[in-house]
Amino acid sequence: MNVVDREARPIYKKIKEGLDSLRKENSALFKELHKNKHQTLRLLVKIVEEIDPYTKGHSLKVYRYVMKLGKRLGLKGREINIIGKAGLLHDIGKIVVGHRILNKKGELTEEEFSVIKTHTIMGAKIVGEVKQLKESIPHILYHHARYDGGGYPDGKLKSENIPIGARMIAVVDSYHAMISDRPYRKAYSKRHAIEELRRCTGRQYDPRVVNTFIKMQAECRR
């Protein structure tokens, strides 16, 4: 039995069972859940942060970046909200990865990295269990797709075929990850992070998204 079998499957099964039980509750509960959907989203994010303390505040920061970036890119309000939810929940699939791998200080083995890569698929499955979040699925599923092709989960999409929200999350997720401490390295400077985004523009990231984000960050520092 491999790492995915030992750690991911039992946890995902419990999450699915919990969501299934929610669906069997009465309509009053669902009305309350819908009314308090923002608190529900925050709760899911906190679960990830408990497993991966180094990402504390990361999902909320990605959400805020995405909301601002969406306006700069001229997206409509409804689309921005859908992508914003995806930004908040982009790492929810890490629930099934496990604390040991997420907090490993040394280099990941090939098998461990293959488990990390499942978080986009698992995140899409978890979010897919909640009707009000289904439109956010593509942006969560493909936020590690590369602009020039490749990446994961399947490496089949490239450039404009990657959902715009996924392209936005890819940029802001990478930027905030770079300027944050991680188990395997100290935080980079903001200048270094911006240079990395520029270096990978057109290969890993959408050039229009990167350029817009960099301008947005420069204006915020004035």
Query: What CATH number corresponds to the domain at position 99?
Result: 1.10.3210.10
Using N-to-C axis directions, what is the helix angle for 164-178 and 58-72, rounded to 10°?
130
Radius of gyration of the chain (CA): 17
Element (H, E) at 190: helix 190-199
Per-residue confidence in pLDDT tens, the chain, 222 aa: 444 445 455 555 555 555 555 445 444 444 544 555 666 667 777 777 777 766 678 888 999 999 999 999 999 999 999 999 999 999 988 888 877 888 787 788 888 888 889 999 999 988 888 888 899 999 999 999 999 999 999 888 999 999 999 999 999 999 999 999 877 788 999 999 999 999 999 999 999 999 999 999 988 765
Q: What is the domain count for the chain? A: 1
- The type of residue at 41 is L
Domain around 101: 3-220
pTM: 0.81
From residue 221, how far is each of 29, 191, 216 by CA, in Å?
Answer: 44, 12, 9
Residue with tokens 């929610």: 22
